[in-house]
Amino acid sequence: MFRKLIVPAILSASLLGLAGCGYSPGQRALSGGAIGAGGGAIIGAATGMGAGTGALIGAGAGALTGAATTHNQLNLGN
């Protein structure tokens, strides 16, 4: 049970961290929403909530995170 929950949680946290990619708020919101939808679908399916519901929640969270960050806040180097 623990592994069933922890793996999707770690995966979605790492995907959500990439939501800040892009230079304009629109680009980051779009990429964050797409990444969040994928991670949310995985978590939703793993927890029994449903992939569609998880994707909707993940897309919203990813889009908000992407739009709220700047490209200077996430620096992966050159």
pLDDT tens digit sequence for 20-72: 566 788 888 888 888 889 888 888 888 888 989 999 999 999 899 888 887 77
* Residue scoring higher pLDDT (36 or 5): 36
The per-residue pLDDT for 31 is 85
Q: Given this model, what pLDDT does residue 77 score?
A: 57
pTM as predicted = 0.65
Gap between the Cα atoms of 72 and 65, Å rounded: 14
Please check whether residue 16 is in contact with residue 35, taking contact to mean a CB–CB distance below 8 angstroms.
yes
Instruction: Please give the structure tokens belonging to residue 75.
Output: 């620096």
Q: Which pLDDT score, from 0 to 100, does residue 57 have?
A: 93
The residue type of 48 is: G
